[in-house]
């Protein structure tokens, strides 16, 4: 995914560009950035690996 239009992005910006339906999933969401636990306000850099899944 490529984000454009802003100078800086944070993790939560990605959620505006993907189709997530939390009600369709069981468990708790897991957010990871480059293999580590992530928060909604973590800064993103070019080439970062983002994972979002339910556990």
Pseudo-torsion of CA 11, 31, 2, 5, nearest 10°? -20
- Residue 52 CA to residue 31 CA, distance in Å, equals 5
Q: What integer pLDDT is reported at residue 32 of this predicted model? A: 98
- Specify the pTM: 0.82
Place of tokens 């993907």: 18
Q: What is the mean pLDDT of the chain?
A: 91
**pLDDT digits 0-9 by tens, 24-44:** 788 898 999 999 999 999 999
């Amino acid at each position: 995914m490529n984000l454009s239009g802003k100078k800086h992005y944070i993790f939560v910006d990605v959620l505006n560009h993907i189709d997530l339906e939390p009600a369709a999933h069981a468990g708790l969401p897991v957010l990871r950035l480059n293999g580590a636990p992530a928060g909604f306000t973590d800064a993103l850099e070019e080439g970062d690996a983002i994972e979002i899944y339910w556990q």
